[in-house]
A = this chain, B = another copy of it.
Amino acid sequence: MPIITLTTDFGTRDHFVGAVKGSIYSELPDAKIVDISHQISPFNIMQTAYIVRNAYKTFPKGTVHIIGVDAELSQHNKHIALYLDGHYFICADNGVISLLTNEIQPEKIVEITIQNHYFLPFTLENFVKVACHIVRGGTLDVVGRRIENIKKLSDFKPVVTNDNSTIKGCIIYVDNYGNSISNISEKLFKEVGKGRKFEIDTRGHIFKKLHQKYSDVVTYSEDTKEYVSKDGEALALFNSSKFLEFAIYRSNLEIYGGASNLLGLDYLKSIEVRFF
């Protein structure tokens, strides 16, 4: 039976998440529900897209992803369901889908038209009914009417200067470790850089080197025959999602901070890669 995942800005104290799960189990006693995140910053579509984008592909094809962020049904915020990259997504037509991928187009999109007889917080009841319908093998056409266009949002795209000397980007996410993830992909970096030397200017710090992984800053001392940890050292690397990321080795936001505050690389802070 396909999995249903949940991504919301409900937080985990209130009854909202429990109520959604109860509704799903009431419809579908054998449902398999997996939480992706309930800690999205309220109404933050960019953050939602970042998290869903990085999580959904690891799930089996056919998984149904409910996105309960900014999802109150209204004239200007329709409910949609769609099939994209082998996965189903159920969400509001608030632009979040356009941020998931630039490269893959949804194969099928419907505006959800089933009635909801009562309503859950932020009308997720609609989403629950559609998710259970899909999990039971139903088609999108039964729960909605085909539409071709959904709302487009642009995320912050890096800019390449005309002379191909510079990529200007910005920080689009700060993770649990305070690592700052930029919108500059490894692909773009390589296409523009073509193997040239580079420096990465974060206004405050210049990186002249990219590491393969965080622990590459650890060095082996021939003198002491021991590994020398470099806790607190700043580094830049392409992370597992293949985007340029800035980190402080073994950072801890609770205790001594991370790249986001120690390097001043908070959300939307601009950075620049210069090739020469």
Contacts and interface: CB of A to CB of B under 8 A. Distances in A.
Given A25-B59, A59-B22, A74 B218 contact: yes
A12 B26 contact: no
A159 interface: no
Interface stretch (A105-113, A161-169, A184-192, A246-254): A246-254
A19 B215 contact: no
Interface in A70-101: 70, 72-77
In the complex this chain forms, how many copies of it are found? 3
B51 A14 contact: yes
Nearest to A33: B34
Given A35-B18, A60-B25, A176-B9, A42 B250 contact: yes
B34 A25 contact: yes
A91 to B, nearest CB: 15
A53 to B, nearest CB: 8
Contacts of A7: 18
Interface in A28-86: 29, 32, 34-44, 50-60, 63, 70, 72-77
A23 interface: yes
B176 A15 contact: no
A36 B15 contact: yes
A42 B120 contact: no
A3 interface: yes
A250 B52 CA distance: 21
A74 B42 CA distance: 38
Contact of A19 (B50, B55, B177): B55
A12 B13 CA distance: 11
Q: Which 7 A-B pairs have the closest CB atoms?
A: A22-B58, A11-B176, A18-B36, A13-B39, A22-B59, A18-B55, A15-B54
27 contacts: A5-B22, A7-B18, A9-B176, A11-B39, A11-B175, A12-B39, A13-B39, A14-B37, A15-B37, A15-B52, A15-B53, A15-B54, A15-B55, A17-B36, A22-B58, A22-B59, A22-B60, A25-B32, A25-B59, A26-B60, A29-B60, A41-B252, A42-B177, A43-B250, A74-B216, A74-B218, A76-B218
Interface of A: 3, 5, 7, 9-23, 25-26, 29, 32, 34-44, 50-60, 63, 70, 72-77, 119-121, 175-177, 213-216, 218, 220, 227, 239-240, 250-255
